[in-house]
Amino acid sequence: MLLNRRLTKVVDKKIIARFPCEGGLFHFLTFSTIPNNGFNRYIEESNQRIMLDLTKKILRGVSFDAILFQKELNKGLKWISDAEEIRRFQEWCIVEFGAKYPAIINKAFAAKRVNA
């Protein structure tokens, strides 16, 4: 029976699962909490990845203006909390924009290290 389970909703840290039974009817089970064995971390990391990709796209779009670039870089850094991810993002920024905005990049990442 568990093999046929279909997860239908996650609402307010509750899982509502639907189990098929005879006659085309369904039994619904609600689990009061989602175990913190990585699921919440996975969702958080997915959101960070999405925001990081969006930030990269925006930085490419505003790279014509130093002030806009600086603002968007600082906003993008607010979404990243993992030190390794910050390092990779800094390397990407240096490769993409290091020749054009080295001072802005260094200043933004230095401020992120101080705040972290």
Are residues 46 and 27 located together in one domain of the fold?
no
Per-residue tokens: 96: 């993409």
Q: How many domains does the chain have?
A: 2
**pLDDT tens column, 78-91:** 888 888 889 999 99
Are residues 89 and 43 located together in one domain of the fold?
yes
Rounded alpha-carbon distances, angstroms, from residue 34 to 11, 15, 20, 49, 67: 10, 7, 22, 22, 43
**pLDDT tens column, 40-78:** 666 667 777 888 888 999 999 999 999 999 999 999 998
Are residues 22 and 44 located together in one domain of the fold?
no
Q: Domain range for residue 18?
A: 2-31
